[in-house]
Amino acid sequence: MFKRILQLLYPEVCFACSNTLLDSEEFLCTRCRLELPRPGLFLPRPNWLSLKFDGWMEYEDAHCFFLFSEGGRVQHLMHQIKYQGAQELGRFLGFWCGAELNKYNWSQEYDLILPIPMHSQRTRLRGYNQAHCIAEGISKSTQIPILSHGIERVKNSQTLIHQNRQDRFHALEDVFSVSNPELIQGKHVLIVDDTLTTGATMLALGQKIKTAGARQVSFLALAALQ
């Protein structure tokens, strides 16, 4: 009852298209749930996503849940998770993504989920790490534990937009540090981030944990630019 009154005063809107939500809808309207572009997980390789990783390191899978386009509904969603404090939205979408993963016969594959660590300074400013929120949702639906310590972001890298791929990659070499390698030794680690553009950050972290003893590395971005 109280929720209904609140909704009359402050109608809840879809995080993707801003239309008013029905009582039965949560975070997203049914139309957006159906229409948001999802390329599918475990795509046959090579594909546009794997090409961002192929040749840089040995890895197992590369997934993205949504396709990101400039000015599109997915960008609007990601913006709110990243900059507007929509942590619950991150968990909700992570949970959905995990539920889709569950439809594939992969359950034995990943031992740990590693959200891309954020620099402590930035976490203090923002109050949360959006990759961690997404990872929490994925973990909830897949039951794969999250690794949230033992790997740190030690450099607060600046925007690398103007550098080429090779330069970006080298600039990111010392961004992450593994202080507790025994946590990942022999494990297949699924690295999770919110948005993937070139994949350079994920690759830098992937290489770092592989060198530190991870048995296998896979990547999952909630949204990726094709």
Q: Which parts of this chain interact with Zn ion (CB under 5 A)? A: 14, 16-17, 29, 32
Q: By C-alpha distance, which of 131, 175, 169 is closest to 157?
A: 175
CB atoms within 10 A of CB 11: 10
**CB-neighbour burial class of residue 88 (10 A; exposed 0-12, middle 13-18, buried 19+):** middle
At residue 129's C-alpha, the angle toward residues 120 and 225, to 5°, is 120
User: CB-wise, 32 or 190, nearer to Zn ion?
Assistant: 32
Q: Nearer to Zn ion by C-beta: 90 or 115?
A: 90
Distance in angstroms (rounded) separating the CA atoms of residues 94 and 157? 25
Q: How far is the CB of 15 from Zn ion (least distance, A)?
A: 8
Phi-psi region of 28 (alpha: psi -120 to 50; beta: other; left: phi over 0): beta
Contact 215, 186 (CB under 8 A): yes
Shortest spacing between CB 77 and Zn ion, in angstroms: 10
**Among residues 20 and 107, whose Cβ is nearest to Zn ion?**
20
Nearer to Zn ion, 14 or 189 (CB): 14
- Closest separation in Å from C-beta 35 to Zn ion: 8
Min dist CB 221 to Zn ion, Å, is 21
